[in-house]
Amino acid sequence: MPSSVTFDGRRRIVVLEFTGPLDIERVVEGGVEATRIALLHGCGVLVDTRRIEKPLPLKELIAVAQGLGRIGVEPGQKIAVLASPFDTENAAFSLFANEAGFAVRTCSDEAEALAWLRKAALEPAGPAARAPARSGETR
């Protein structure tokens, strides 16, 4: 099974798991499906890359990160990437995705990723949430 997309109702997340060698088409197809399901359920996405054999080249990961909006990801939607501790490509993916205005975090520990998704689900989403509070305003 090269990749799978499932909704975990108990944890209220969509899990996108990649195995084997990756290519840009699989990443985009899985991303589109995971995003669609996450938007239906109003939840975040956990992308598990720990079982891939050959990652995407950094140049392609950066293109995916900067083009998340083209596959349906909304700026406030949360994505946690579960990767091996030495996976510098996915760390770069998160950096470029965040610079492009998306909420992405790379974690090497599943509990950390799930905790971030749960915490992020409780926070307001979108540009207004990232703007500093005005004087006298509370959040």
Q: How far is CA 37 from CA 7, 18, 34, in A?
A: 7, 17, 5
| Residue 27 maps to a domain | yes
Q: Identify the domain containing residue 79 by its residue range.
A: 3-130
3 state SS of 125:
coil
- CA atoms of 41 and 36, how far apart (whole Å): 9
| Residue 137 maps to a domain | no
Q: Residue 88: what pLDDT?
A: 87
Structure tokens at 28: 């985009």
Q: How many CB atoms sit inside 10 A of residue 105's CB?
A: 19
Structure tokens at 134: 């005005």
What residue type is 82 in one-letter code? L
Task: Report yes or no on whether pTM surpasses 0.85.
Answer: no
- CA atoms of 6 and 15, how far apart (whole Å): 5
Per-residue pLDDT tens digits for 46-78:
999 999 988 889 899 999 999 999 989 988 889
Per-residue pLDDT tens digits for 79-135:
999 998 888 888 899 999 999 999 999 999 999 999 999 886 666 554 444 444 344
Per the structure, the count of domains in the chain is: 1
CATH number at residue 52: 3.30.750.24
| Residue 94 maps to a domain | yes
Q: Residue 123: what pLDDT?
A: 63
| Residue 18 maps to a domain | yes
| Residue 13 maps to a domain | yes
Q: Which is it for strands 103-107 and 78-82: parallel, antiparallel or unpaired?
A: parallel
| Residue 136 maps to a domain | no
